[in-house]
Amino acid sequence: MSGTGHTVRRRHALALALAGLLTAVLLLPTAGAVAAPQKAKSAQTAKAKGAAKASAKGRTATAPPAQACNKRNNNTYQKVLGCVTLEGVREHQAAFQAIADANGGTRAAGTPGYDASVDYVVQTMEAAGWNVELHEFPFTYVPPPTLQQLTPVSATYETGIFTGSGTGTVTGNVIPVDINLVPPRASTSGCEAADFAGLNFSGPNDIALIQRGTCDFGVKAQNAQNAGAEAVIIFNQGNDPTREDLIIGTLLPTGAGVTIPVVGASFADGSALAQPGSTARIQVDPAESRPQVNVIAELPGKNDDNVVMAGAHLDSVQRGPGINDNGSGSAALLEVGQTLSKLKPENTIRLAWWGAEESGLIGSNQYVASLSQEELDRIALYLNFDMIGSPNYIFMVYDSDESGFTAPVPVPAGSTAIEDLFESFYTLRNEPYDDAEFSGRSDYQAFILNGIPSGGLFTGAEVPKTPLQATIWGGVAGQQYDPCYHLACDTYANNSDHALEVNSDAVAFAVLTYAYSTQTVNGVRGKRVPGNFSIPAPAGPEGTVGSGGGDEHDEES
């Protein structure tokens, strides 16, 4: 392929030789679920097979045998939509779950779980006949921190590092700083130097316990360091249900001078640490260089100067296996890649599984930055699939026409045609849909900043579903679209089969459409998709959204 930068050709022997990958595969409970070299449904895990069949709503009963899908050119909408099955997508998610189970419960960038996920994708796509390469990029791995209470109770708490934190290990007294545990729990804890007056931070290992509220995290941490603290715990405020869980944020820019370890805690854990006589141990290890890779798979077309790209991030957060975020998008791309393996496309198809998205869109940004202007100009469009099976879902399409949101980023010309195509698919399926803010807060960011038309699908993250949305899509009003967003419970069970099935078909529908012609997006003529298939005009969004969603990284407390 034409990508420049740190790109290396992927050979099968090299894939097996990558550190930790083969070990992870051997540790998995069902070897067939990991190797998955062919789209053979008999090789899937029993769990994935049962879950998929129970929710396929009759589609798999009429789908052609997997062997037929593997061997033929699936060059029509009917063939592709018949071969892309929920059963097949769930097979790949089961493999990602098994990989996480064998590697400490995570598939985060910089961990063996991510390496094993890369190996699985490479083996699957190479076996399907795609040209596969690895694109390497620099990555700074931050090891997960430790927060242990030693007295008056012994406990280990879930925690995380604040961006801009110093490193080190501190074992000592926990000193509460102007905290308020009594409802309504208004807090200015640590916001002023006066909050530390009268507190004894003269020891060599004192830990300041500070409550969220009012001022920037960086202000709180800097004041604690100035007072003599050797480490800081910032726990959530507890003043409403959205401020109960573990809090992690950034100390920058107001805490740019902080050099001591700063970690987070939930309100409940902070309350426990506030007990008289409390001592604790905090460990924040130094970051280290661990280069990571994106997986890039390509199927050459007749027009190699008009490349259709689709991508999904492959990594999870450190706290969990990431089977919805983003095993859903990654698994759908794998199923589509296997289904289209015999296609003879008009335009070259390039699929990407991005690394280190959860660390700041690093893999996709590095990939785009490695391309020359000539190579960027060859990319006709980019499709992004991040969280497409949320259990309390609503169907959303990136709002490039700004009918629901004013985009905070540039919207490249041609992006509205992509939105229209996805909306037409939902209309075809009689599925209601709505807008997702065209925010650039996922891996399409680098593409739109380089003027490449982009679009994608989203089923929601941490935002609660409204009562109106519950009447339209079902589910639970007041509950997050994904109650396990960025948590350890984002497992194989954290899924809506219906949302995942519909959206996997939408992915296949869009990729096949643009594999034949991108004329509606960039004016480059191709061919109509073979067969007699009528695509309706979009029915229009439901109009239930009015605020953004996604993963915020705020400095405000």
pLDDT at 2 over 50: no
Quick: pLDDT tens for 37-68. 333 333 333 333 333 333 333 333 346 777 88
For residue 396, what is the enclosing H or E element? strand 396-399
Q: In angstroms, rounded to a whole number, what is the distance separating the alpha carbons of residues 512 and 74? A: 9
pLDDT at 509 over 60: yes
Residues 231 and 315 in one domain: no
CATH of the domain at 192: 3.50.30.30
Residues 129 and 191 in one domain: no
Residues 169 and 186 in one domain: yes
**Is 372 in contact with 328 (CB distance < 8 Å)?**
no
* Interstrand relation of 140-141 and 288-289 (parallel, antiparallel or unpaired): antiparallel
Q: In angstroms, rounded to a whole number, what is the distance separating the alpha carbons of residues 439 and 71? A: 40
Quick: pLDDT tens for 408-421. 999 999 999 999 99
Tokens linked to 194: 């006066």
CA dihedral of 482, 457, 369, 138, whole degrees rounded to 10: 30
* Whole-number pLDDT of residue 20: 38
Q: In angstroms, rounded to a whole number, what is the distance separating the alpha carbons of residues 190 and 488? A: 30
Q: In angstroms, rounded to a whole number, what is the distance separating the alpha carbons of residues 82 and 472? A: 27
Identity of residue 548 = G
The alpha carbon of 174 is separated from its chain's Cα centroid by a whole number of angstroms, namely 35
Residues 65 and 163 in one domain: no
pLDDT tier, 314 (very low <50, low <70, confident <90, very high otherwise): very high
pLDDT at 454 over 90: yes
Q: In angstroms, rounded to a whole number, what is the distance separating the alpha carbons of residues 126 and 227? A: 58
346 labelled catalytic? no
Residues 368 and 266 in one domain: no
Residue 57 placed within a domain: yes
Residue 540 placed within a domain: no
Beta strand ranges found along 80-130 (DSSP E): none
* Whole-number pLDDT of residue 19: 33
- Going from the C-alpha of 244 to that of each of 159, 185, 262, 271, 522, the distances in angstroms are 13, 12, 19, 11, 47
Mean pLDDT of 511-532: 97
* Whole-number pLDDT of residue 65: 75
Q: Euclidean distance between the first and final Cα of the chain, in Å?
A: 46
**Is 200 in contact with 173 (CB distance < 8 Å)?**
no
* Whole-number pLDDT of residue 508: 98
pLDDT tier, 551 (very low <50, low <70, confident <90, very high otherwise): very low
pLDDT tier, 277 (very low <50, low <70, confident <90, very high otherwise): very high
Residues 169 and 74 in one domain: no
Residue 239 placed within a domain: yes
pLDDT at 269 over 70: yes
Mean pLDDT of 271-285: 98
Residues 32 and 130 in one domain: yes
Tell which of 284, 318, 350 closes a domain: 284
Half-sphere exposure of 432 (CA within 13 A, CB side): 13
Tell which of 284, 308, 341 closes a domain: 284
Task: Report H helices in 172-216.
Answer: none
Residues 278 and 294 in one domain: no
pLDDT at 265 over 50: yes
Q: What domain count does the chain have?
A: 2
pLDDT averaged over every residue in the chain? 89
- Going from the C-alpha of 213 to that of each of 44, 189, 271, the distances in angstroms are 49, 7, 15
Mean pLDDT of 452-456: 98
Quick: pLDDT tens for 204-245. 999 999 999 999 999 999 999 999 999 999 999 999 988 999
**Is 449 in contact with 408 (CB distance < 8 Å)?**
no
pLDDT at 276 over 80: yes
Tokens linked to 308: 């259709």
pLDDT tier, 557 (very low <50, low <70, confident <90, very high otherwise): low
Residue 422 placed within a domain: no
Structural domain including 73 reads 7-140+290-402+453-518
Quick: pLDDT tens for 25-37. 333 333 333 333 3
Mean pLDDT of 549-553: 34
- The single residue listed with the structure tokens 């995942």 is 500
Q: In angstroms, rounded to a whole number, what is the distance separating the alpha carbons of residues 413 and 448? A: 10
**Phi-psi category of residue 463: left, alpha or beta, with phi > 0 → left and psi -120 to 50 → alpha:** beta
Residue 29 placed within a domain: yes
Quick: pLDDT tens for 171-203. 999 999 999 999 999 999 999 999 999 999 999
Q: In angstroms, rounded to a whole number, what is the distance separating the alpha carbons of residues 478 and 359? A: 29
Residues 304 and 361 in one domain: yes
Q: To the nearest whole percent, how much of the chain has pLDDT over 70? A: 87
Residues 190 and 99 in one domain: no
Q: In angstroms, rounded to a whole number, what is the distance separating the alpha carbons of residues 172 and 200? A: 12
Quick: pLDDT tens for 81-132. 999 999 999 999 999 999 999 999 999 999 999 999 999 999 999 999 999 9
Q: In angstroms, rounded to a whole number, what is the distance separating the alpha carbons of residues 6 and 547? A: 38
Q: What count of other Cβ atoms lies within 10 Å of the Cβ of residue 356?
A: 28
Catalytic residue among 133, 230, 298, 357: 357
* Whole-number pLDDT of residue 537: 98
- Going from the C-alpha of 535 to that of each of 6, 382, 499, 510, the distances in angstroms are 41, 21, 20, 12
CATH of the domain at 90: 3.40.630.10
Mean pLDDT of 158-169: 96
Tell which of 232, 255, 284 closes a domain: 284
CA dihedral of 313, 317, 322, 328, whole degrees rounded to 10: -20
pLDDT at 383 over 70: yes
Phi, psi of 257 (to 5 degrees): -90, 5
Residues 352 and 393 in one domain: yes
- Spatial neighbors of 534 by CB under 8 A, at least 6 apart, are none
Residue 201 placed within a domain: yes
Residues constituting the chain: 557
Residue 14 placed within a domain: yes
- Report helix, strand or coil for 232: strand
Residues 295 and 217 in one domain: no
**Is 99 in contact with 34 (CB distance < 8 Å)?**
yes
**Is 480 in contact with 409 (CB distance < 8 Å)?**
no
Residue 465 placed within a domain: yes
